[in-house]
Structure 1
């Protein structure tokens, strides 16, 4: 992976790479916390939230790679 700071400020990938790192970190935190709580509704909320964040991470990755028609 390219160091995002090596890219110019005007390159959107510089920003999407940083956002992806934060999205992944938050999704991992949510999944870790599922094991720390007992409320099944909260567990479902945390798992669902993690899934949404990872889906957003994939959208950012697809943008960076230009693999989706919408991002070409």
Structure 2
């Protein structure tokens, strides 16, 4: 009996949504700050999280050699 708690896609979907929300907040805050270094750090953080979102996508789609089962 597979509970929804054990379904990997459910977890990846939830995490991707949380990461996307955080990326949105970070990018909104860039426009609110006057400090260039902080703006750069916020943008860098958004880019890093976007990379994690892509990694979750790749995992779901089994893209990339890291996510394929070895024979």
Question: TM-score normalised to the size of structure 2?
Answer: 0.87
* Runs of 5+ consecutive residues of structure 1 not aligned to the other structure: 1-6
Question: Counterpart in 2 of 1:46?
Answer: 42
Question: TM-score normalised to the size of structure 1?
Answer: 0.86
Give the match's secondary structure for 2:58: helix
Q: 2:10 aligns with which of 9, 14, 23?
A: 14
Q: Say how many residue pairs are matched.
A: 66
Deviant stretches of 4+, over 2 Å:
none
Shift of 1:9: 1.9
**CA distance in 2 between partners of 1:14 and 1:60 (Å):** 11
Matched, 1:24 2:20: yes
Instruction: Provide the alpha-carbon RMSD of the alignment.
Output: 1.2
* Runs of 5+ consecutive residues of structure 2 not aligned to the other structure: none
Larger radius of gyration: 2
Shift of 1:10: 1.2
